[in-house]
Structure 1
Amino acid sequence: MIPAGTRFQVSLPTPLGVVGSFVRAEDREAFEPVYESALAAELDEIIAVIPHEELAVQWDAAVEFAILEAEAGKPNHAWFHNVWEGTTERLARQIDRVPAAVEVGVHLCYGDVAEKHFVEPSDAAILTRFANLSAKQTTRSLNWVHLPVPIERDDDAFFAPLTGLALNKETELYLGLVHREDGVAGAERRIAAAKRHLARGFGVATECGFGRAPEGTTLPLFETHRAVAEAW
């Protein structure tokens, strides 16, 4: 049974993510406002037909981190100069498109093609800085932020930057630390590490949803997620 008050979540890729993935580099600057306008119109259609108190919108930001990680020496394919300002201002603009009565959150992502990241984050520093800057630029409340936690990382070095997370109290934090490969035990190790560096409470989630995993793994992952959430 679905509890009363549960909202229908619509997850959307950011315009930057689509333009940065599927448009030729030389055309991105001109195409971006066209695509952003079209996506905004589709968002308006969704908002018009689903009651606001029953709807939640999640913006999925992934290509943003390919651009930001390029600051560490990898090829930078951004079509704008200041990558921190450019990526976070764009995400804040999408957050502010959602009416106040509709909940809105963001999923920050390092990719999940064949269950692999496009680059492995050295720690949570870029995630923390990006979340802080994006939230600071919004004019409406941000209801939740989801941060991924790689399966290999249950060490203090990864989680230490989260001490600098400066989200408002009303913004819920979810850590994507539930993985199918190591189940409840692995999630518990990552929870313990996160608690050493976070003064605020947080919820648990999978790292990148339930898709793109091998056939037959979805139900066990749901069961693992439930077990971790109930224990937590």
Structure 2
Amino acid sequence: MPQTPEVQPQGALLVGSVNYDDAEKTMSTASAMLGDLLRRIPDGEVGRRFHWIMFQPDVLGQADGIERVGDEPRLLRGIDIRPLRLAEGVDAAGIQLPPLGYADAAIESYAIFRRLRDAGDIAAGVRFQVSLPTPVAVVSSYFSGDDRAAIDPVYTAAMRRELDRILSAIPHDDLAIQWDVASELGIIERASGYGRTMEAWWPGDPFAGLVERLVALIDAVPADVEAGVHLCYGDAGEKHFVEPADTATLVRFANAVITASARDLTWLHLPVPIDRDDEAYFAPLADLAPTSELYLGLVHREDGAEGARRRIAAASAVVDRFGVATECGIGRAPAGTTEEILRTHAEVASAW
């Protein structure tokens, strides 16, 4: 018999990607299956966004002054994922990056969201969620050496332009922005990613620099727009770049960000590895700074509701109010597993 949790989780969060082909199916299915568990719905990061940031080299490679590394394309479902470099003698400050694609996708999907809501397929009051990667993720993943410091402010400015377009096009009371934070945890943990140690490229304390960068992104979201943070240890091949010993690093980083931010964080999402149904993993959460909504990524497709309940029971010994989620997006989950994953959320959580 599965262990009965002491706390009934309240609400669910869809982290971002969903393994469907189009935004309408993602949003209508999520609303039908999860209903009043959800306060916001993403578009599933469909199309070329299916594998998080892996389409960005194709975008950035169009800019004059940026070159692809290697002579032959490395294709992933039609996306060339080769890394990037600055062309010799190019001043990065003068590079004009094209639109990154996030604002265009958000504006297109919001029109679908509005149509579904007007038809009653999405409840009134549910917000449209836009998940954005931090510039640290793209810069650290696709540039090397001194190119990172040079391109960092250029890419950050481009991402801020994407955010500003989204804020201009979508009514603020309909909008929720989530910053996806994965590479930052790799840098803090000095993990191995893409065949090399994940490192900062700025002077001084890497941790302080990571906090400063994330805080700037959170504070760029106006107070009348919801703002969330998804902390992640990666899920390439459904594996982390390092297995966290417990939630201590997550709590330390989240607390520093929450304390330094000028605005309130609407929600915080933390991952829970599938094999961690022990109280020790969750113990540092006792020191987590308050947030309006905390979501624990304890839903895993491999063990469904039974495994989620074990992890809920362990977490409930430390925290008494949280919702449920998967560890990361489910856009790369095996075909045919999406509805079962969504159903698990509904089985283990109650409505708001």
TM band (smaller chain): over 0.9
Residue of structure 2 in register with 1:174 after alignment: 295
User: 1:201 and 1:225 mapped to 2: Cα distance?
Assistant: 16
Structure 2: runs of 5 or more not aligned = 1-120
Cα deviation for residue 206 of structure 1 reads: 1.0
Residue of structure 2 in register with 1:79 after alignment: 201
Q: How does 1:107-186 map to 2 (within 5 A)?
A: 107-168=230-291, 171-186=292-307
Q: What one-letter code is carried by the residue in structure 2 that aligns with 1:24?
A: S
Structure 1: runs of 5 or more not aligned = none
Alpha carbons 1:151, 1:179 under 8 Å: kept:
yes
Alpha carbons 1:92, 1:134 under 8 Å: kept:
yes
Alpha carbons 2:127, 2:176 under 8 Å: kept:
yes
Residue of structure 1 in register with 2:316 after alignment: 195
Q: How does 1:61-76 map to 2 (within 5 A)?
A: 61-70=181-190, 75-76=197-198
Cα deviation for residue 75 of structure 1 reads: 3.5
Cα deviation for residue 15 of structure 1 reads: 0.8
Q: How does 1:30-45 map to 2 (within 5 A)?
A: 30-45=150-165
Cα deviation for residue 226 of structure 1 reads: 1.5
User: 2:290 and 2:216 mapped to 1: Cα distance?
Assistant: 17
Q: What one-letter code is carried by the residue in structure 1 that aligns with 2:251?
A: T
User: 1:114 and 1:131 mapped to 2: Cα distance?
Assistant: 26
Alpha carbons 2:139, 2:148 under 8 Å: kept:
yes
- What SS does structure 2 have at the residue aligned with 1:114? helix
User: 1:62 and 1:146 mapped to 2: Cα distance?
Assistant: 12
Percentage identity across paired residues of the two chains: 59
User: 1:75 and 1:181 mapped to 2: Cα distance?
Assistant: 30
The structure with the greater share of residues assigned to helix is 1
- What SS does structure 1 have at the residue aligned with 2:329? coil
User: 1:18 and 1:77 mapped to 2: Cα distance?
Assistant: 13
Alpha carbons 1:114, 1:213 under 8 Å: kept:
no
Q: What one-letter code is carried by the residue in structure 1 that aligns with 2:341?
A: L
Alpha carbons 2:127, 2:174 under 8 Å: kept:
yes
The equivalent position to 2:221 in structure 1, one of 98, 103, 119, is 98
Deviates more, 1:147-156 or 1:220-229: 220-229
Residue of structure 2 in register with 1:209 after alignment: 329
- Classify 1:218/1:76 alpha carbon distance in 2 versus 1 (closer, same or farther; 3 Å): closer
Q: Are residues 1:2 and 2:122 paired?
A: yes
Q: Are residues 1:49 and 2:169 paired?
A: yes
User: 1:210 and 1:230 mapped to 2: Cα distance?
Assistant: 21
CA RMSD of aligned residues (A): 1.8
Q: How many residues align?
A: 228
- What SS does structure 1 have at the residue aligned with 2:296? strand
Alpha carbons 1:11, 1:60 under 8 Å: kept:
yes
Q: What one-letter code is carried by the residue in structure 1 that aligns with 2:311?
A: R
1:98-135 deviation line (CA, Å, top 9, x unaligned): 11111000000000111111111111100010110011
TM value normalised by structure 1: 0.94
Alpha carbons 1:25, 1:77 under 8 Å: kept:
no
